[in-house]
Structure 1
Amino acid sequence: MIISAIKKSVFAKLLLPYIILFVFAFTMLGFIITQQLYRMMLDRNNIYAASTLLQINHNLENSIKQIDEKIKNLYTAEYFDYNIVHYLRDESVKTDIDKVRNENAITRQLAYLKNSNSNIVGVILYKYTSNSIYSTWYPGVKTTYDFNKYVYLDNIKQKEYGLFISPICKPDYYINYTDYTITLARNIIDIDFQVRRAFVLVDVGINIFRDIFKQYRNELNGNVIFLDKDSNVYFDLRETMIGKSFVSSTGIDIDFNTVVNGENVHREKVLLNGENHYLYILNSKLIEGKVLYLISENDLLRGIGRIKADLIFVMVVSIIAVILSFTAISRLFANRVRKMAQSIELIGEGKLDTRVEVKGDDELAQLAASFNKMCVRLKEFIDRVYITELKNRELEIREKNAEMKALQMQINPHFLFNTLEAIKINILLGETAEAAEMIRILAGIFRWNVKSGESIVTLEEELIYSMSYLDLQKIRLKDRLETIYEISEKVKNVKVIKLILQPIIENAVAHGIECKEKGGQIVIKASKEDDLVVIHVIDNGPGMSAEKLESIRSEIYSDDEPVGSYKIGLRNVNERIKIYFGSQYGIKINSFPGEGTDVSITLPYNVDVR
Structure 2
Amino acid sequence: MYFIRMMNDMRMKKKLAFTFISAAILPLLLSGLYLTGKLREIVINNAFMQVSDNVDRVRKRTEELIKVPLDISYRLSVDNRMKKVASREYANYGEVIQAYREYTDIRDYIQLYKEISGIRVYVENPTALNNWEFIQPDNSIMDQTWYREAIDQKGLAGWNLIKDEQSDTESISLIRSFPVDAVGKKGVLVINVDQQQLSSILEQESFTTLIVDSRNRIVGSNEAELTGMNLSDIKVDEQILLNQEGSYNTVVKGKDSKVVIADLNPPNSWNGLRVISIITVAGITREADQVILLGAVVILVSLLFAVLLIYASATLLSRRMLRLSKHMAKVGSGSWETYIHIDGKDEVGLLSKQFNTLLRSVHDLVQEVQETNAQKNLIEQRQSEIRFKMLASQIHPHFLFNSLESIRMEAHIRRQDDIAEAVWLLSTLLRSSLEAGSGNIPLREEIERVRCYLDMQKFRYEDRLEYHLTVDPDLQELPVPPLIIQPLVENSILHGLDNREEGAVITVEVKKITDGALIKVFDNGAGFPPERLAGIRAELAEDVHEQESERIGMRNVNDRLVLMYGESSALRIESQPETGTTITFYIPGGVDND
**What TM-score, normalized by structure 2, do the two folds share?**
0.40
Q: Which has the higher contact order (CA 8 A, sep 6+)?
A: 2
**What TM-score, normalized by structure 1, do the two folds share?**
0.39
